[in-house]
């Protein structure tokens, strides 16, 4: 279309928008086509020509600048094969929340694959996704599209070349191999970061936490973020560092909720019992205090070591208090006392063993597996498995599942008529779907279906993915 025609088209367009006959405004050649007709027909003919000109002869004007996102980084693991993607999508669809979805991708990563980005993409704030996804988290966060430099080894000089997720992964790795160097980097660079970023950086000190970290953690007592101060205090407590004593400390108030006593006729030993609360308000205050205080301070308040305090605690007296204490130990107990409490409760078995679930993130893989196996073997509270967080995926063997009464309890749950029991059964199937080895997952599906759960039940989605991933296991 030449310039005259373009100008003519613009005139026609303006004329039609406001209304009225526009024949006289048309380009000369167009007029020829439309001339020998009634006035209405002339307009229609011009309209037809204009429509085609707009459709074919004019192209949309591209903006002068279009923003190009940087290429999506290639991850260290291969993408899940296409034929398994529907199974992954089904498992993700059924996963109720971000934590459950993270379990699905964790299982996939444990078998040497990553999800296709069109099926699952970690959120920019995601801190539970497997480390392999860090480049995608940073890619999402970076909307400006600048390319960053070499990602060989994190140093003070190249700190800004790393995006936050990649930096966190690099620092975590350094904390395992060179804890002092990692701490120094955090010490130097954290003050310039925002409170949230500072918090996540200080959190990394937990990896390989040792006495050498104490002075840095103490220096954080003046940090401008309350959350950072609290975290540093917790980690110091893990190292056995007591807080500044004083009559106004909440630990004294907390101690008021605990009764010291004696037990045993021959070997007298000290016991710690949760005092009976008189009102809901008191109960709430006690929960707040357990969250505020550190184990080391509480034990010191009673003049005993952390281990002695835990040994003397009378589990089973008050379920809520037991849970609060477990959480406190997980948050501020030293590694040794966490392991001590876990061993003690697991040896006791039964319901007390379930409190160990609160310590799970602090336990090593061996203890985690022992606990899970024990819960399955006891089969008293199989639904508690749902509470387990941060457990390795894909290791539970069929022998572990078929050991004890677990399968019998599970089968009876399937045939139950009440909704809560059925939901619990579905939760268990989902948890086993994450924990099981591929052969165990396949067998568990058969057992479950034979027991009456519909073969197409969405609760089996993760188990199906797990079983299908068997033949696709790649070397990591």
Partner 1 sequence: MQLDLKTIEALAPDQASLGAAAKLTKRSNWPRLETHEQLGLIWGECQGSGSNPYRVMFDTADHGYKCTCPSRKFPCKHILALMWIGVTAPTTFDRVDQTPDWVNDWIGRRRKPGQQPAQPGTEGKSIDDALQPQESPAPVEDAAAAERREAAQRKRAEDTRSAVSAALDELDQWIADQLRLGLSGFVDASSERCRRIAARLVDLKAAALAGRIDELPSRLLALRNEERPDAAIRELGKLVLLAKAWRAAPDDPELKRLVSTSETREQVLAHPDAIQVESDWEVLGEKIETRRDGLVSHATWLLDLKSPTPHFALLLDFFPASAGRRSNAFAPGDRFKARLVFYPSRSPLRALVAERFGDVASGAWPEAGVNTAADPLAAYAAFQDGAPWLSDCPLVLPPGTIQLDERDAAWWQGANGPQGIALPVAGTVNQTVLGLDLTATAALWNGARLELLASQSSIGRLDLS
Binding stretches for partner 1 (CB under 8 A)? 13, 16-22, 40-41, 43-45, 47-52, 54-56, 59-60, 62-63, 65-72, 79, 82, 86-87, 90, 116-118, 121, 139-140, 449, 452, 454-458
Nearer to partner 1, 123 or 221 (CB): 123
Q: Which residues pair with 273 in a beta bridge?
A: 259
Residue 423 CA: distances (Å) to CA of 32, 335, 383, 457, 458: 77, 35, 9, 12, 12
Buried b (16+ CB within 10 A) or exposed e, 258-268: beeeeeeeeee
**Shortest Å, Cβ 448 to partner 1:** 12
DSSP secondary structure of 451-466: TT--TT-GGGHHHHHH
Nearer to partner 1, 86 or 439 (CB): 86
Nearer to partner 1, 136 or 272 (CB): 136
Contacts of 198 (CB under 8 A, 6+ apart): 190, 191, 223, 225, 228
Q: What is the maximal distance between C-alpha atoms in the chain?
A: 122
Report, in angstroms and rounded to the nearest whole number, the Rg of the chain calculated over CA atoms.
32
Beta strands in 225-383 (DSSP E): 258-263, 269-274
**Shortest Å, Cβ 289 to partner 1:** 45
Nearer to partner 1, 48 or 212 (CB): 48
Q: Contact 333/236 with Cβ under 8 angstroms? A: no
In the DSSP assignment, the letter for residue 204 is: G
Angle at 354 between CA 353 and CA 355, to 5 degrees: 90
Nearer to partner 1, 340 or 422 (CB): 422
Closest C-alpha among 237, 244, 234 to residue 202: 234
If DSSP codes are grouped into helix, strand and coil, which group holds residue 258?
A: strand
Contacts of 22 (CB under 8 A, 6+ apart): 11, 12, 15, 16, 43, 46
**Shortest Å, Cβ 296 to partner 1:** 46
**Shortest Å, Cβ 157 to partner 1:** 28
Closest C-alpha among 251, 255, 224 to residue 237: 251
**Shortest Å, Cβ 13 to partner 1:** 7
Nearer to partner 1, 310 or 442 (CB): 442
**Shortest Å, Cβ 284 to partner 1:** 40
**Shortest Å, Cβ 86 to partner 1:** 5
Nearer to partner 1, 73 or 404 (CB): 73
Residues in the chain, how many?
Answer: 476
In the DSSP assignment, the letter for residue 266 is: S
**Shortest Å, Cβ 138 to partner 1:** 12
Nearer to partner 1, 303 or 455 (CB): 455
């Amino acid at each position: 279309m030449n310039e005259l025609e373009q100008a003519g088209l613009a005139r026609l367009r303006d004329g039609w928008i406001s209304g009225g006959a526009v024949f006289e405004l048309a380009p000369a050649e167009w007029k020829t086509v439309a001339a020998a007709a009634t006035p209405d027909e002339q307009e229609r003919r011009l309209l037809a020509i204009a429509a085609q000109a707009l459709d074919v002869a004019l192209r949309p004007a591209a903006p002068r600048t279009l923003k190009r996102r940087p290429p999506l980084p290639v991850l260290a693991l291969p993408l899940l094969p296409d034929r398994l993607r529907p199974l992954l999508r089904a498992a993700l669809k059924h996963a109720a929340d971000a934590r459950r979805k993270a379990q699905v991708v964790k299982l996939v990563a444990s078998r040497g694959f990553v999800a296709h980005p069109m099926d699952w993409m970690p959120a920019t704030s995601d801190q539970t996704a497997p480390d392999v996804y860090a480049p995608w988290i940073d890619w999402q966060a970076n909307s400006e599209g600048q390319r960053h430099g070499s990602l060989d080894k994190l140093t003070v000089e190249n700190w800004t070349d790393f995006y936050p997720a990649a930096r966190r992964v690099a620092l975590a790795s350094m904390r395992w191999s060179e804890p002092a160097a990692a701490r120094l980097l955090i010490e130097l660079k954290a003050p310039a970061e925002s409170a949230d970023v500072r918090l996540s950086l200080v959190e990394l000190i937990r990896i390989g936490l040792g006495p050498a970290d104490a002075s840095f953690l103490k220096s954080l007592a003046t940090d401008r973020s309350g959350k950072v101060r609290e975290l540093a205090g917790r980690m110091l407590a893990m190292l056995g560092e007591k807080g500044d004593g004083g009559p106004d400390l909440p630990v004294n108030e907390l101690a008021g909720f605990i009764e010291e006593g004696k037990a045993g006729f021959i070997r007298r030993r000290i016991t710690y019992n949760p005092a009976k609360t008189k009102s809901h308000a008191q109960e709430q205050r006690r929960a707040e205090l357990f969250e505020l205080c550190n184990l080391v301070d509480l034990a010191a308040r009673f003049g005993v070591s952390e281990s002695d305090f835990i040994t003397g605690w009378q589990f089973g007296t008050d379920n809520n208090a037991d849970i609060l204490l477990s959480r406190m130990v997980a948050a501020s107990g030293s590694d040794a006392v966490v392991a001590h409490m876990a061993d003690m409760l697991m040896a006791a078995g039964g319901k007390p063993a379930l409190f160990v679930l609160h310590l799970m993130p602090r336990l090593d893989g061996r203890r985690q597996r022992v606990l899970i196996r024990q819960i399955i073997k006891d089969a008293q509270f199989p639904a508690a498995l749902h509470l387990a967080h941060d457990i390795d995926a894909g290791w539970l063997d069929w022998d572990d599942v078929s050991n004890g009464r677990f399968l019998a309890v599970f089968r009876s749950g399937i045939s139950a008529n009440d909704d809560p029991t059925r939901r619990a059964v579905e939760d268990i199937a989902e948890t086993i779907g994450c924990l099981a080895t591929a052969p165990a997952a396949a067998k568990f599906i058969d057992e479950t279906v034979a027991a009456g759960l519909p073969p197409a039940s969405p609760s089996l989605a993760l188990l199906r993915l797990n079983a299908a991933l068997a033949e696709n296991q790649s070397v990591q």
